[in-house]
Amino acid sequence: MALVLATTTPGEPEIFASLQGEGPSIGRPSVFVRLSRCNLACRWCDTAYTWRFTGDNRPHRDDLTFERKANQMTLDEADVADRICAYDVDRLVITGGEPLLQAPALSRVLHRLKDMRPTLHAEVETNGTVPVPEALEALVDQWNVSPKLAHSGNPADLALPPEQIEQWSKNNKAYFKFVIANPADCDEVSALAARHGIAPVRLFVMPEGTDSETLRTRSKWLAEEALRRGWRFTDRLHIHLYGDTRGT
């Protein structure tokens, strides 16, 4: 049994230690595991190498495609767990792609990890469109849910299924993180929060961008919007520290 992972270089899985760059755990030392494949296609996605393989014509601003063999690999679940535990870090962040597309395998890996390291805190980053099996829910300590707004280019019926957003809003382990490119995006967030009862203390807004200049420019007005609306603001720390690179 195995997980399908993204790679940093051909044949090297994207499992690495770094500081969490976004959301409620920003700045905390973490081990990251990046899984491959996604059910959405955001125009501004900064990890398109996890899904936009050769032959995939879904729109993306860079219009690049990636060879699947070089950018995706399968790794035995026990091997994944061992590689994670090799880092002396007690916070795990599982990201993608969309991790919940591999929920059964992910449940088995987390179960193994909790046995190996009982103090491990497990976070999963998800776009919020995929239901969570009970077995996995019990093993995850924190959900970082990032629903995709209209500017992502995804159809609303795929990106914002009301029943799933409603379920996440009732999950007290879930935090919402919205990627913001324009001031009008904040009105869309406000409408979603009101419709689904998302508490401001669990709602983060983050500027879209893959370079420090863009992030700082957008942060100036987004910080003011967050203050005015009572939301939480998050930067993209890893971009400022390491740039838009894999394995960071």
pTM confidence score? 0.97
CA distances from 60 to 39, 53, 86 (A): 14, 12, 36
**How many other CB atoms sit within 10 Å of the CB of residue 32?**
24
Q: Mean pLDDT across the chain, nearest whole number?
A: 97
- Does 221 map to a domain? no
Q: 59 and 52 in contact (C-beta within 8 Å)? A: no
- Does 135 map to a domain? yes
- Does 237 map to a domain? no
Give pLDDT, residue 86.
97
Q: 176 and 190 in contact (C-beta within 8 Å)? A: no
Q: Percentage helix, strand, coil, to 5, in the chain?
A: 40, 25, 40
Percent of the chain with pLDDT over 70: 100
Flag whether pLDDT at 1 surpasses 90: no
- Does 201 map to a domain? no
- Does 134 map to a domain? yes
- Does 43 map to a domain? yes
Mean pLDDT of 99-119: 98
d(CA 199, CA 13): 36
- Does 215 map to a domain? no
Question: What CATH number has the domain bearing residue 50?
Answer: 3.20.20.70
- Does 66 map to a domain? yes
pLDDT classification of 55: cutoffs 50, 70, 90: very high
Q: 147 and 128 in contact (C-beta within 8 Å)? A: yes
pLDDT tens across 154-192, in order? Answer: 999 999 999 999 999 999 999 999 999 999 999 999 999
Give pLDDT, residue 12.
98
Range of the domain at 165: 2-179
Number of domains in the chain: 1
pLDDT tens across 195-235, in order? Answer: 999 999 999 999 999 999 999 999 999 999 999 999 999 99
